[in-house]
Amino acid sequence: GNTAFANTGYRPKVQSVQILEEILPEGIIVPTGFETVGHIAHLNLRDDHLPYKKLIAQVVLDKNKPKIQTVVNKIDAIQNDYRTMQLEVLAGIDSLVTTVIESGLRFQVDLSTVYVLSSLGSYLSHNISDLL
């Protein structure tokens, strides 16, 4: 187990935000959301979160299993023509490959080579229907 939780009275039904408020130093704004792609949670941590990134990721993982099995953070800004980003696995399964279901179709994607954003779902659905 993670010893950080022993000091906070880690409780299964408590939300991850409440746990992080107890664990993180005063003055650090608790990250409250993340993007999901398949079983991967994608955090957008700020610079002041970075010293606590693995702890934050472990809480997100523990509170969102079994749906979430990997937690990642973007290492740098999107800087290439293919709009891919460097991601760092912080907790869970050390793989950036996941399955995404869109318009009833299953796609296996590798987030190290493909940029997927759930808000593009309707755009993707429209393009898939054009192909079928």
Span 88-102, pLDDT tens digits: 999 999 999 999 888
CA dihedral 131, 78, 96, 59 (to 10 degrees): -120
Pick the CATH number of 3-95 from 1.10.10.10, 2.30.110.10, 3.90.1310.10, 3.30.300.110: 3.30.300.110
By mean pLDDT, which of 16-20, 77-81, 103-107 is the weakest?
77-81
Distances (CA, A) of 14 to 8, 9, 63: 11, 10, 9
Are 38 and 69 in contact by the 8 Å Cβ rule? The answer is no
What pLDDT, on the 0 to 100 scale, is given for residue 7? 43
Distance CA 36, CA 117 (A): 8
pLDDT bin (cut points 50, 70, 90) of residue 19 is very high
- SS3 category, 55: helix
pLDDT bin (cut points 50, 70, 90) of residue 115 is confident
What count of other Cβ atoms lies within 10 Å of the Cβ of residue 34? Answer: 20
Nearest to 60 by CA among 100, 91, 88, 38: 91
**How high is the mean pLDDT of the chain?**
80
pLDDT at position 126 over 50: no
pLDDT at position 132 over 80: no
pLDDT at position 110 over 60: yes
Residue 16 half-sphere exposure toward CB, CA atoms < 13 A: 16
Segment 107-114 shows an average pLDDT of 88
Distance CA 61, CA 14 (A): 14
